[in-house]
Structure 1
């Protein structure tokens, strides 16, 4: 084990922050760590918007489902797919292919994880805000995004004001398959369910009695932001 692995395995989502600011040097390092991430074909199709205006923070918190920590975090970053740079250089690019939208989403996830790990290595904490996609068009308008550029998710960063327990993940042997896809081992899932129940019943806040299967079944039973495809299409993305 080393300090990098320790940081990765110690990850918890932090939603409560002190009033202490993140220094310019820390933020610069976090962003540089993000820029060092892998990029498909070196296309570099991600832009990050640092939101510092309090009124904009308040609106974004509302768009994200009244997530107050969007306002209270020391820093709030919005990660966007960005092919506008490329279209400015060459108006003939074909940004509408779904593969290019996937590349943008993958690259943004890789870049953001680099940023978060860098922040955590400094003793900072953060949480991803996928809820921005609840009202993606409204967030897009507020951030004045041009064509071929779209909101993906936000990230709160700051000095932690909480110390939550580690949330159990699925066992390695359930997630990792060798050579071909292996069927689901329901016995292993049942063991994990009990682990999650124990975690939820003993954690310091937001205790609940719900299995992982119950929560995921509920999440996947209905529509999941059906407005996202029209939104992406309106930005010239995922049109073909």
Structure 2
């Protein structure tokens, strides 16, 4: 006999939308502590916890980050901004105390990936916690557009780098819920998809209808238009050079 698996956590996850319009109300220190604690409760590779979180409380610094991250005004206007850091620096400092040389391991591309994965899992925990509290959230991948300037601004040491930002606040306006790729277009068993053509075509038509009929700014575009133009616009081909300069992703 099956059980009813639907619960409040799943309901919260299924209703996720990005929020870019907030009231002026700030989060309380207790709310911030709860959000960070939720982030820290996430899984982490081999207990390394290779990430750090910088809360931006200085409006001047926040304005600079908004400028470097693609001149996005809502970042500057958001009540709270968190920058998630892939942090291998702390591991390197611990290794010195133990007299173990892990320089080459930390310079390896896998360690760089581990830091980004740890930061991402922690951030998603924070998002779910925030949305369960009735707050709105939006990831800021544009942080990597100004990654060098933002790293200097926040005095991030070598062996660490910002992966993305996350704005959180009390929603003033919410976007309509976007349709996702159908279950059969994401999930397959044992082997990769043999043919994705129909899934892509059907989903493009579904998303075209969404963009044409949503309550906000309407447009005649599809998921493919949005996704591929984003890839084309943000190649970020400087990332390898940037990471190498910071002692990461060398091998």
Residue pair 2:211, 2:218 contacting (<8 A) in 1 also = yes
- How far did residue 227 of structure 1 move? 0.8
Deviations 1:9-31 (A, max 9, x none): 00000000001111111111110
- Alignment equivalent of 2:15, drawn from 10, 14, 37: 10
Residue pair 1:64, 1:131 contacting (<8 A) in 2 also = yes
Distance in 2 between residues matched to 1:197 and 1:22, nearest whole Å:
36
**Partner residue in 2 for 1:198:** 209
Residue pair 1:40, 1:107 contacting (<8 A) in 2 also = yes
Give 4+ residue runs of structure 1 displaced > 6 Å after superposition.
none
**Partner residue in 2 for 1:44:** 49
- How far did residue 184 of structure 1 move? 3.0
- Alignment equivalent of 1:77, drawn from 78, 82, 91: 82
Normalising by the residue count of structure 1, what TM-score does the alignment of the two structures yield? 0.96
CA RMSD of aligned residues (A): 1.3
Alignment of 1:74-153 (within 5 A): 74-91=79-96, 92-94=101-103, 95-153=106-164
- How far did residue 97 of structure 1 move? 0.6
**Partner residue in 1 for 2:72:** 67
- How far did residue 217 of structure 1 move? 3.2
- How far did residue 174 of structure 1 move? 0.8
Q: Assess, with a 3 A threshold, how the Cα gap between structure 1 residues 129 and 222 changes in structure 2: closer, same or farther.
A: closer
Deviations 1:94-123 (A, max 9, x none): 310100111111111100000011000000
What's the secondary structure of 2:9's corresponding residue? helix
What's the secondary structure of 1:182's corresponding residue? coil
Distance in 1 between residues matched to 2:234 and 2:8, nearest whole Å:
41
- How far did residue 153 of structure 1 move? 0.4
Instruction: Say which is worse superposed, 188-197 or 107-116, in terms of deviation.
Output: 188-197
Normalising by the residue count of structure 2, what TM-score does the alignment of the two structures yield? 0.92
**Residue 167 in 1 paired to residue 178 in 2?**
yes
- How far did residue 163 of structure 1 move? 2.2
**Partner residue in 1 for 2:222:** 211
Q: Assess, with a 3 A threshold, how the Cα gap between structure 1 residues 222 and 198 changes in structure 2: closer, same or farther.
A: closer
Residue pair 1:69, 1:156 contacting (<8 A) in 2 also = no
